[in-house]
Amino acid sequence: MAEFFDQKADGEPGLALFLNAGDPPLDVLADLVLMLDEAGVDCLELAVPFPGSVTDGPVIRRSHDRALALGVGLDEVLTFIADVRPRLRRLRIALLADWSYSIKSRPLAGAVGDIAEAGADGLLLHALPPRVRPAFYQATSDAGLPIVTTCYHKVSTEQVMAEAAANASAYLYLVAQYGRSGTAPADGYADLAGTIAKLRVDTAVPIAVGFGVKTRADVTTVHALGADAVIVGSAGVARVEEALAYNRDVVTEFADFVRSVHPAHTLA
């Protein structure tokens, strides 16, 4: 589904932002999502919160904890998506769910069907065991639900990269740095170009790069290396955390953050 990120006539990259459902609370999040739609953000990578994530840094782990403390789980997130999705004009929602915490206890085809029916535009299933992948690919295909696949720069084997490229139908998430979210490659992003070019041979879907992308300069740098889109996570979640801690308006604070990283906005 190569249209997941709108094609930009001026060559700008697509922009995806990560947030945990429930951080901010869902009623505030609804207003924030509508703001993202108005601001021209392409994709919200919306996570079902789960505890003890080994791939997330402290900022996102605290976000998981705040959302879980409010009782937000898969059912609540699907209800949220079903309510907000019809009000969006362009923003797409890619649901991120952890296999063990949110999906494993449910019939796979039923869970995938529920996610598609709620209105999610794509699904990224975190920590999906290799033995389950064929059934997952079949279930999402049957439900007409595009999927996000992932691979790691410098770490993923040729086989893993080929499978990710072959099965991505929403976008392919290339993780720039093996480690925890919020960390950027110590040597910068320059050598991503070769990995992006290699993946490009085997997939027609957008290639989105994330981990450590925090500023507009990072967005511009990654796009110049061949990425179709960038994913910004910890930096935005930190702005939510700060707004909540100081009792500031989360939507206003996050709108300022969007303007600071979105390549189409003019910096003041």
- Domain extents in the chain: 14-261
CB count in 10 Å sphere of residue 170: 27
pLDDT reading at 268 higher than 60: no
Question: Which residues have a Cβ under 8 Å from the Cβ of 169 and sit 6 or more positions away?
Answer: 1, 122, 140, 146, 147, 205
Q: Report residue 75 as tokens.
A: 């059912």
Does residue 113 register a pLDDT over 90?
Answer: yes
Mean of pLDDT over the chain: 92
Whether residue 143 is predicted with pLDDT greater than 90 in this model: the reply is yes
Q: What is the pLDDT of residue 185?
A: 59
Encode pLDDT of 47-106 as tens digits: 999 998 888 899 999 999 999 999 999 999 999 999 999 999 999 999 999 999 999 999
Catalytic residues: 45, 56
Query: In the chain, which ranges are continuous DSSP H helix?
Result: 26-39, 58-69, 74-84, 108-118, 133-143, 158-167, 192-200, 216-224, 234-245, 250-261
Strand partners, 20: 23, 47
Residue 4 clears pLDDT 90, i.e. is over it: no
* pLDDT at 11 (0 to 100): 76
Number of neighbours of residue 213 by Cβ within 10 angstroms = 27
Helix (H, G, I), strand (E, B) or coil at 63: helix
2 pLDDT above the threshold of 60: no
pLDDT of residue 182 exceeding 60, the answer is no
Question: Residue 236: pLDDT band by 50, 70, 90 thresholds?
Answer: very high
Quote the pTM value: 0.94
pLDDT at 256 over 60: yes
Q: pLDDT at position 31, please? A: 98
Tokens of 95: 């649901």
Kindly state the percentage of the chain with pLDDT values over 70: 92
Which tokens belong to 17? 């932002």
SS3 letters across 79-105: HHHHHHHHHCCCCEEEEEEEHHHHHCC
Range scoring the smallest mean pLDDT among 166-170, 213-217, 250-254:
213-217
**pLDDT tops 50 at residue 267:** no
Question: For the chain, what percent of residues have pLDDT higher than 90?
Answer: 83
Cα distance between residue 150 and residue 160, in whole Å: 9
Which of 87, 71, 56, 90 shows the shortest CA–CA distance to 25? 71
Q: What is the pLDDT of residue 191?
A: 87
CATH 3.20.20.70 fits 14-261, yes or no: yes
Report pLDDT for 212. Answer: 84
Return the SS3 of 17. Answer: strand
Q: Return d(Cα 168, Cα 58) in angstroms, integer.
A: 29
Residue 45 is inside which H or E element, if any? Answer: strand 43-47
Q: Taking the CA atoms of 221, 226, 228 and 231 in sequence, report the sign of the dihedral they define.
A: negative
Predicted confidence at residue 187, as pLDDT, reads 67
Confidence at 183, pLDDT banded by 50, 70, 90: low
